[in-house]
Chain A
Amino acid sequence: KAGVTQTPRYLIKTRGQQVTLSCSPISGHRSVSWYQQTPGQGLQFLFEYFSETQRNKGNFPGRFSGRQFSNSRSEMNVSTLELGDSALYLCASSLEGRSGYTFGSGTRLTVV
């Protein structure tokens, strides 16, 4: 059974640009969550989508948004990039949130 796939693995963007990250969950999993990992703040929850609806949201500015498609694939978008957005972005899929999460390898975003 294929794991959680995130693309791309690495990304370099310039301040002010926008970026879209993609996540394909494990087949059959309807919940997709996104986390940001930085050396200073650690791992922080961004948002969760379940059956194409945002079900839960962390404490991030509106520049961070996401969506989920009917096949459960999810995208995360960050607009007007700032240097502080440089991080490892991890996607996690789950059958149902509380049942446990399987993470992808992440997308490492560098903003210059």
Chain B
Amino acid sequence: AQKVTQAQTEISVVEKEDVTLDCVYETRDTTYYLFWYKQPPSGELVFLIRRNSFDEQNEISGRYSWNFQKSTSSFNFTITASQVVDSAVYFCALSEENSGYALNFGKGTSLLVTP
């Protein structure tokens, strides 16, 4: 069963629009971590953020913000004022104590930002 669901397969926006990428996860562990990674066409996975299960505080970093809600098992990612350079595939991942902290990735959301 898929533990991390990214329902949006592809999103296309025009530059300067805000865009939210959804992530829903499933776990029975009380200790777990959530991640977002960005994969540009070059292939390398670029780390964006890590959140642990005990810290529900939302975070803002420049144009990026993350909304972690344990009540709905969601960890959504918003890009404000999108830019063409934001075009990439974005992955949400879950790391559980029960699984030795291996990353369990969602299928990814392909974001295309056009000028």
Contact = CB atoms under 8 A, between A and B. Distances in A.
Interface of A: 33, 35, 42-45, 48, 55-56, 58, 88, 90, 92, 97-106, 108
B49 to A, nearest CB: 9
B103 interface: yes
B95 interface: yes
Interface residues of B, number: 24
Given A98-B95, A102-B47, A108-B43, A45 B104 contact: yes
A98 B94 CA distance: 10
A51 to B, nearest CB: 14
Interface string B71-115: 000000000000000000001010101011111111110000000
Interface of B: 33, 35, 37, 42-47, 50, 91, 93, 95, 97, 99-108
B102 A90 contact: no
B33 A35 contact: no
A88 B45 CA distance: 11
A43 B105 contact: yes
A44 B99 CA distance: 13
